[in-house]
């Protein structure tokens, strides 16, 4: 999972599979977990035995869909729109304000209460490209993806997943095969 490694500093799951057994609701998106990860899926089934709801979001009907309580067969490529709609529903329904655990978790363990960097531009503003794209270098600058600095706070540490311009790629020698040019 190179994308997770570059953005989060770790190229694997952000939680343990064992913790799935303690879930009240398990959402599986775009994966046939029952067949591709059967050892981890047993923890999903333990949660279901305890009364958890299992939701499978995938255009394909698979073994995971058959074992889930709800199968959401959305159109391929529309998963981000669905997640955006779900987030919009949560925020606009204001039900989150009445759940003290949810509010405490979001406030203390996520970047939700901070302001988005004012330089950030949405894909609608950029003809479908993500914010920070440099057409001359044909690469993204992730600075606009960060949250806005709050007054009196130190600047964010450099992103460990970013390579300085002109440096060799991961696992490559300076000037060796596949080295990036500045």
Residue 174 — pLDDT band, cuts 50, 70, 90? very low
Q: Do residues 5 and 11 make contact, with C-beta atoms less than 8 angstroms apart?
A: yes
Residue 43 — pLDDT band, cuts 50, 70, 90? very high
Q: Which H or E run contains 25?
A: strand 25-29
Handedness of CA 124, 129, 131, 135 (dihedral sign): negative
Give the mean model confidence (pLDDT) for residues 68-81.
Answer: 92
Q: Do residues 118 and 86 make contact, with C-beta atoms less than 8 angstroms apart?
A: no
Q: Taking the mean position of all CA atoms in its chain, how far away is CA 67?
A: 25
Q: Secondary structure of 80-145 in the HEC alphabet?
A: HHHHHHHHHHHHHHCHHHHCHHHHHHHHHHCCCCCCECCCCCCHHHHCCCCCCEECCCCEECHHHH
Nearest residue to 54 (alpha-carbon basis) of 62, 45, 13: 45
Question: What ranges do the domains of the chain cover?
Answer: 20-76, 77-108, 114-164
- Is the overall model pTM greater than 0.75, yes or no? no
Q: What is the pLDDT of residues 126-157, one digit of tens each?
A: 888 888 888 899 888 888 777 666 666 555 55
Q: Do residues 132 and 141 make contact, with C-beta atoms less than 8 angstroms apart?
A: yes
Residue 51 — pLDDT band, cuts 50, 70, 90? very high
Residues 145, 120: Cα–Cα separation, whole Å: 6
Nearest residue to 66 (alpha-carbon basis) of 34, 44, 109, 92: 34
Nearest residue to 12 (alpha-carbon basis) of 23, 3, 21: 3
pLDDT at 134: 86
For the domain with range 20-76, which CATH number is right: 3.40.228.10, 3.40.50.300, 3.90.1570.10, 1.10.1200.10? Answer: 3.40.228.10
């Amino acid at each position: 999972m190179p994308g997770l490694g570059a953005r989060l500093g770790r190229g694997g799951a952000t939680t343990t599979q064992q913790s799935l057994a303690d879930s009240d609701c398990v959402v599986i998106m775009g994966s046939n977990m029952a067949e591709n990860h059967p050892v981890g899926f047993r923890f999903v089934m333990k949660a279901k035995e305890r009364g958890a709801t299992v939701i499978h979001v995938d255009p394909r009907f698979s073994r995971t869909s058959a074992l889930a309580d709800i199968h959401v067969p959305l159109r391929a490529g529309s998963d981000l729109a669905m997640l955006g709609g779900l987030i919009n529903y949560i925020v606009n329904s204001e039900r989150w304000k009445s759940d003290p655990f949810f509010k405490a978790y979001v406030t203390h363990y996520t970047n939700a209460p901070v302001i988005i960097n004012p330089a950030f531009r949405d894909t609608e503003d950029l003809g479908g490209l993500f914010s920070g794209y440099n057409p001359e270098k044909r690469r993204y600058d992730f600075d606009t993806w960060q949250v806005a600095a709050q007054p009196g706070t130190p600047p964010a540490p450099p992103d460990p997943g970013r390579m300085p311009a002109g440096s060799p790629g991961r696992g490559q020698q300076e000037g060796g095969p596949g080295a990036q040019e500045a």
